[in-house]
Amino acid sequence: MINVKENISLKAHNTFGLDVRARLVALLHQPEDLMPLLEHYRDVPVLFLGEGSNVLFLEDFDGLVILNRLEGGIEILDRNRESIHITVSGGMHWHDVVRYAVEQDWQGIESLALIPGKAGTAPFQNIGAYGNELADVLTACYAIDTRTGRNLRLRKEECGFGYRNSLFKREPGRYFIHRLELRLYPGRRPQVRYRALENYLTERGIKHPAIQDVFRAVIDIRLSKLPDPAVTGNAGSFFKNPVIDRRHYEELKQRYPDLPAYPAGNERVKVPAGWLIDRAGWKGFREGDAGVHPKQALVLVNYGQATGFQIYKLAQRIMADVFDRYGIELEPEVRIIRNATKQ
C-alpha cells in the first residue's frame, strides 16, 4: 500500500504558489496502485494533481490529493517511411517530451514547447498553443476509469476533444490518464499557422522554418510575455477565449473596429479574451497581491501573499466587467478547487 502523508502544504504543488493544505497526500508511481488506494479511502474526496499549473485552490483541500509521479519514459511502437508512433508515460514533464521529439527531428509538437505540467494531464484540457493542439498528434490514451476500475485504451475519437476540452474535463476525477500514444513525423517541415509566430520568423528572415526554428521561436515568444511561475504565481490563461455568434461579433466590430477574431465554424468566431480584458483597462491592475499580468491580460497573477479567494474575486470582477461592456460571458480555463467537503 502506498505511503499516505497527512496535513501537507500544497504550496510547491500549485503554480499560483498558494499555501493551502491537503488532509492527505499520496505519491502515485505505478498506475496499478491507484485502485487499491481509492478503495482504501472509499469515502474520501479525491483530487488528481500533476504539477498544479492549471488549478486555483480557494481553500484547504479536505480530502486525498494523488500526485502523479508515474515512472517511465518514451518508447517507440512502430515507424514507417512517413511517421513514427510513440508511447509516453503520463509522469513525464510535458516539455521534456517536446524537447526529446525536437532533438530526434520528429515534427508535430514543437509549437507546444514550454507548456508546464505532466504529459498525463495534457489530454485533460487538450493543451494547445501557436496553431496546434494535442489532439492533432494524439492517437490514443490509457486511462483508468475509477468507477469500474478498468484500464481503458481510448482512441482519440473517443476522448471528446474540443478547444480546451475533453471527456476527462467534462467528468473531472472519473478518469486517471497514465499513458499517451502520439504519431509524429520525422523530418517533416512544420506549417506555421499563428500570426505572432509567423511575424517572429519573418522578422528574422526565416522563410522555411525547421522544427528547431519553431521550437526556439515559441520558447522566445512565451518567455517574452508569460510570467515564470517560479517567480510570479500564475496558471497561464485564466479564461478561455470565448466563441460567439458572427452577428454578435459584427455588432462589436462596429464599436471596436480592431477587435481580432478567428473563424470557429458554423457562423461562430473566437475572440481573444486577452484583448477584451486589456481594452477594458485591466492589464497591469493590482489589488494587494492579486493582479492582472502587465504583459498578458489573460493571465492573473499572485505577487506573493494573495489567497485563492482574492484571485477568484478579481476574476469575478473581470468577468462582470467584460459582460457589461461586450455582452460576453467569460469562462475560466483554470479549474477552481473548493474545500472538498463543500463540493
| Interface positions with ligand FAD (CB under 6 A) | 15, 47-55, 68, 90, 115-118, 120-122, 124-125, 127-129, 168, 172, 175-177, 226, 229, 234-236, 335
Which of ligand EPU, ligand FAD, none has residue 232 at its interface (CB below 5 to 8 Å by kind)? none
Q: How many CB atoms lie within 10 A of CB 201?
A: 18
Which of ligand FAD, ligand EPU, none has residue 63 at its interface (CB below 5 to 8 Å by kind)? none
Binding segment for ligand EPU (CB under 6 A), chosen from 97-105, 148-156, 237-245, 301-309, is 237-245
- Rounded-to-5 percentages of helix, strand, coil across the chain: 30, 30, 40
Relative orientation angle of helices 195-203 and 211-225, to the nearest 10 degrees: 110
Measured from the CB atom, the residue of 145 and 198 that comes closer to ligand EPU is 198
In whole angstroms, the minimum distance from the beta carbon of 262 to ligand EPU comes to: 9
Measured from the CB atom, the residue of 117 and 209 that comes closer to ligand FAD is 117
What does the chain come to in residues?
343
State how far the Cα of 159 lies from the Cα of 181, in Å rounded to an integer: 13
Which of ligand EPU, ligand FAD, none has residue 100 at its interface (CB below 5 to 8 Å by kind)? none
Longest Cα–Cα distance of the chain, Å, equals 63
Strand 290-292 relative to strand 175-186, pairing: unpaired
Which of ligand EPU, ligand FAD, none has residue 35 at its interface (CB below 5 to 8 Å by kind)? none
Q: Is 333 a catalytic residue?
A: yes
Q: Which one of residues 48, 130, 142, 161 is an interface residue with ligand EPU (CB under 6 A)?
A: 130
Q: For residue 294, with 0-12 CB atoms within 10 Å meaning exposed, 13-18 middle and 19 or more buried, which class applies?
A: middle
The one catalytic residue among 164, 179, 183, 216: 164
Q: Is 224 a catalytic residue?
A: no
Structural contact between residues 119 and 93, judged by C-beta atoms closer than 8 angstroms: yes
State how far the Cα of 333 lies from the Cα of 108, in Å rounded to an integer: 24
Measured from the CB atom, the residue of 18 and 113 that comes closer to ligand EPU is 113
Which of ligand EPU, ligand FAD, none has residue 177 at its interface (CB below 5 to 8 Å by kind)? ligand FAD
Structural contact between residues 190 and 201, judged by C-beta atoms closer than 8 angstroms: no
State how far the Cα of 131 lies from the Cα of 111, in Å rounded to an integer: 7
| Distance separating the N- and C-terminal Cα atoms of the chain | 27
Q: How many CB atoms lie within 10 A of CB 265?
A: 8
Measured from the CB atom, the residue of 234 and 307 that comes closer to ligand FAD is 234
Q: Taking CA 72 as the corner, what is the angle to CA 66 and CA 76, rounded to the nearest 5 degrees?
A: 135
3-state secondary structure of 188: coil
Measured from the CB atom, the residue of 214 and 252 that comes closer to ligand FAD is 214
Contact string (CB under 6 A) for ligand EPU, positions 238-277, x = contact: --xx------------------x-----------x-xx--
Q: Which one of residues 97, 333, 337, 340 is an interface residue with ligand EPU (CB under 6 A)?
A: 333
Contacts with ligand EPU, residue ranges (CB under 6 A): 129-130, 194, 196, 236-237, 240-241, 260, 272, 274-275, 278, 283, 296-298, 333
Q: Which residues are catalytic?
A: 164, 237, 333
